């Protein structure tokens, strides 16, 4: 579903978004994720780009109102949830903050580091991060996570049950990771519950517009760009952006950073989020992925816009 854009004072930005959309729409490299059967069924030609500026303006081009699964982009917002409760040094000592050169679902980093997670965006670190949320029950833990996501989105998000079922039926590998974490003392909660909550967070449905708005808070020092409410502490934004910078696109993070110069995060649902601190959040959605699990058109759109609009942080 495409949307009508209201008149904007940022016409040059909207023009650049339209150019990106038109020129990249025909790129047909990559393929939908298929290890989660539902994701293979999402139309591959969907393509949306949305920007949320720190003053609350939203710009949208293409399929920005289509619901898709957050998948690994959820890891950014669960990290935000935990950092509200735990200081960043404690978090770093428990989960880590270094880049990995392994695929997102690898167990090699666990093996190499005494079964200790390496960063919050690899699946192992993300599942361990879920376990750090202080809660007396899985329901309370889940409510804290979805409550955080809702505050970032400025609306109530829901789990896409079809994605959740599809992923729950096929997540034996992630359950295995959870039990490895348990065996090394890196997970203090029931491994199956932690994995289930992780699977639920990955199945939350958002639109490209939602994603831009969610990122807008990270571009705006923790204050929601539309509601003006504080969502997270200002001091928690830099460590989140640092994690995105280091590992947001998995083994392709270096290539992405080399060209876009922005902290980013991908999900195998086809979403991409990039943060331009103090200016805006950039969200793109296009299901076909590169071999590392990052949206091909989404990355290209981010790189194009960063270049043409002068947003590369290393050029400042």
Pick the closer one to ligand GLN by CB: 47 or 121: 121
Instruction: Please report whether residue 202 would count as binding ligand GLN according to CB under 6 A.
Output: yes
Pick the closer one to ligand GLN by CB: 17 or 81: 81
Q: Please select the residue that binds ligand GLN; options are 32, 64, 78, 123, rule is CB under 6 A.
A: 123
Q: Please select the residue that binds ligand GLN; options are 68, 77, 104, 149, rule is CB under 6 A.
A: 104
Instruction: Please report whether residue 72 would count as binding ligand GLN according to CB under 6 A.
Output: yes
164: which residues sit within 8 A by CB, 6+ positions away? 199, 200, 203
Instruction: Please report whether residue 312 would count as binding ligand GLN according to CB under 6 A.
Output: no
Instruction: Please report whether residue 105 would count as binding ligand GLN according to CB under 6 A.
Output: yes
131: closest CA among 168, 92, 186, 86?
Answer: 186
DSSP 110-164: HHHTTT----TTSHHHHHHHHHHS--SSHHHHHHHHHHHHHHHHTS--EE-HHHH
Q: Please select the residue that binds ligand GLN; options are 32, 106, 174, 247, rule is CB under 6 A.
A: 174
Pick the closer one to ligand GLN by CB: 186 or 220: 186
Instruction: Please report whether residue 268 would count as binding ligand GLN according to CB under 6 A.
Output: yes
Instruction: Give yes or no for a contact between 76 and 249, defined as CB atoms under 8 angstroms apart.
Output: no
- Four-residue CA torsion sign, 237, 240, 244, 246: positive
Compute the distance between CA of residue 206 and CA of residue 186 in angstroms, rounded to an integer: 30
Instruction: Please report whether residue 71 would count as binding ligand GLN according to CB under 6 A.
Output: yes
Compute the distance between CA of residue 132 and CA of residue 126 in angstroms, rounded to an integer: 10
Site for ligand GLN, rule CB under 6 A: 71-72, 104-105, 123, 167, 174, 202, 267-268, 293
């Amino acid at each position: 579903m495409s949307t009508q854009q209201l008149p904007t004072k940022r016409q040059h930005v909207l023009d650049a978004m339209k150019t990106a959309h038109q020129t990249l729409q025909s790129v047909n490299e990559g393929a939908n994720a298929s290890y989660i059967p539902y994701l293979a069924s999402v139309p591959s030609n969907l393509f949306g780009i949305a920007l949320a500026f720190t003053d609350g303006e939203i710009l949208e081009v293409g399929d920005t109102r289509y619901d898709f699964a957050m998948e690994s982009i959820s890891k950014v917002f669960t990290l935000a949830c935990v950092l509200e409760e735990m200081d960043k040094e404690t978090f770093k000592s428990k989960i880590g903050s270094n880049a990995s050169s392994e695929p997102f679902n690898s167990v090699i980093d666990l093996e190499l580091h005494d079964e200790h997670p390496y960063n919050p965006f690899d699946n192992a670190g993300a599942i361990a991060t879920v376990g750090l949320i202080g809660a007396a029950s899985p329901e309370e833990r889940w409510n804290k996570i979805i409550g955080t996501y809702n505050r970032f989105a400025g609306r109530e998000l829901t789990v896409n049950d079809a994605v959740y079922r599809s992923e729950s039926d096929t997540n034996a590998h992630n359950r295995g990771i959870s039990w490895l974490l348990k065996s090394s003392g890196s997970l203090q909660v029931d491994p199956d519950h932690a994995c289930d909550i992780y699977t639920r967070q990955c199945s939350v449905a958002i639109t490209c517009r939602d994603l831009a708005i969610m990122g807008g808070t990270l571009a705006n020092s923790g204050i929601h760009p539309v509601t003006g409410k504080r969502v997270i502490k200002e001091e928690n934004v830099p460590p989140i952006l640092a994690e995105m910078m280091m590992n947001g696109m998995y083994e392709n993070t270096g290539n992405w950073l080399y060209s876009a110069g922005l902290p980013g995060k991908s999900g195998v649902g086809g979403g991409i989020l990039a943060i331009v601190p103090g200016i805006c959040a950039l969200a793109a959605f296009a299901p076909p992925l590169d071999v590392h699990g990052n949206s091909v058109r989404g990355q290209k759109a981010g790189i194009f816009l960063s270049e043409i609009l002068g947003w590369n942080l290393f050029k400042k």
